[in-house]
Structure 1
Amino acid sequence: MPLVTPFDDAGTVDHGALRELTDWVTGRGVDFVVPCGSNSESELLTLEERAAVVETVAEAAPAETPVLAGTGHPGLVETREQTRRAAAAGADAALVVSPYYYKHAEASIGAYYREVADDAALPVYLYNVPKYTGVTLSPALVADLAGHANVAGLKDSGGDLETLLRFVESTPDDFAVFAGSGGTYAHALEAGADGGILAFANVLPERAAEVYRLHEAGKDAESRQVNRRCAAVNRAVTSEHGVPGLKAAMRARDLPAGRARSPHRPVASDIETSIQSLVADALP
């Protein structure tokens, strides 16, 4: 799950709260944690802050819970350095967002990922999130990169089930495909996804785990039903209100989510009340 980064009133990372959150989610069915992803406000963290966040999470997580650290930056130099720091901080693998800001040809993106994977001491996972990067990784490119010995999988937040299915079909069985869109999580599992990295799991980790367990038990209709119960919360904490909405939803469960870092702004009080009601309705 893409663990949020709590900030205190001064805008500083609250490592005590981060340890508490890590302990809370890993005790509620979450199989692995992802610090420094999109929902972690990673693009608002310095290289040093990201490394420190990864270290805190790696220390707080149980030994059997892998830490998949977000290490991607727009350029190769920073991504290589961030990946090295993540390895030193105790991460088990690196989640690398596709290079953004400049518009790159697909061949350039492929070359970039190979350069990252060649240098990394950790297994590398591709991260397809077009709404933030303006870049869409194609099934052909992902299939090609899946042949690299150090490229282990993909998080797909594109939201298109047909494309996710093509990712699954065009890659080897040992290449992990994780869904990043919580609203279609159960359907993604049916399409062959190996799991999910979902924003709403910060709020409802038990529900996210239940969707997966039911699918694994062959109870896909029940899995979809549980997923539907999470849909309103998922919308509120992603497309509607983003990270500030996610932190408001976490406060509804008395979690120390902290503030969102500027330029984010807190949601209005009426919206926070509405989000609290949605969370109450979705609780187990």
Structure 2
Amino acid sequence: MPGYDLHTHSTFSDGTATPAENVALARERGLEGIAVTDHDTMDGWGEALAAASDSDLRIVPGVELSAEHDGASLHVLGYWVDPTHEGLRSELRRLHDTRFRRGEMIVEKLQALGHDISFERVRRIAGDDLIARPHIAQAMVETGIVATERDAFDSYISDDGPAYVPKHALAPVNALALIRDAGGACVLAHPGMWRGADSVPDALIEEMAAGGMAGIEVDHPDQDEDQRARYRVLAERLGLVATGASDCHGARYDFRLGSETTPSVLVDELRRRASP
């Protein structure tokens, strides 16, 4: 399977596989490389690099940075950022702390709705890493509130759900500026999944492209063919690199690593566009 999977998650955020396990799966499936893009943390880079060190698999260090537009979550991917950049490190620390309190508040809302769910269980599921909504969804399934994690999002914790709590994250253009200042290349993640199934407004994508955004995630398992065609045209018009990635979360989405990929020539172009 040629190409790079430029969007993967591990146990350092809300994935179920370790970085080393993702590397092993990528090698098994014949990928050329994978990006390590956990939510709001760079902590998984070292394990992935070590696991791939005795192979030809290339690791693209990255992060999926939380942003917010018009009261709804929006994610931007930053590749090859400088892990010592103090501005980026400061924002990641702030987001980590915000995620903890946000998790508490979501659980409090669920309890107020009459559901028996413990924040301590959510913390145990998350382990030592940051708390994300899939951890809460897993706890909801375990306690019988819902049948599946998808049901948890659809009925309670999606951006417009009764237990939703906003992140108070950066505006997308500010997240873009931070990634560029840290020497990275910025790509807008799954633009067809804003507010659940809405599309990120074209005007915002155009503003980010004008601000130096390098690419847009076109081929994503949760974007249909019409969406992909639309974003491919938009990428061409705005001069953006059209990427493909699985957004793999391990068992949460049936180990779909490598289901969508980006050709190596486009990965090289993204690397070229990273800020000096």
TM-score (normalizing by structure 2) = 0.37
Structure with greater strand percent: 2
TM-score (normalizing by structure 1) = 0.36
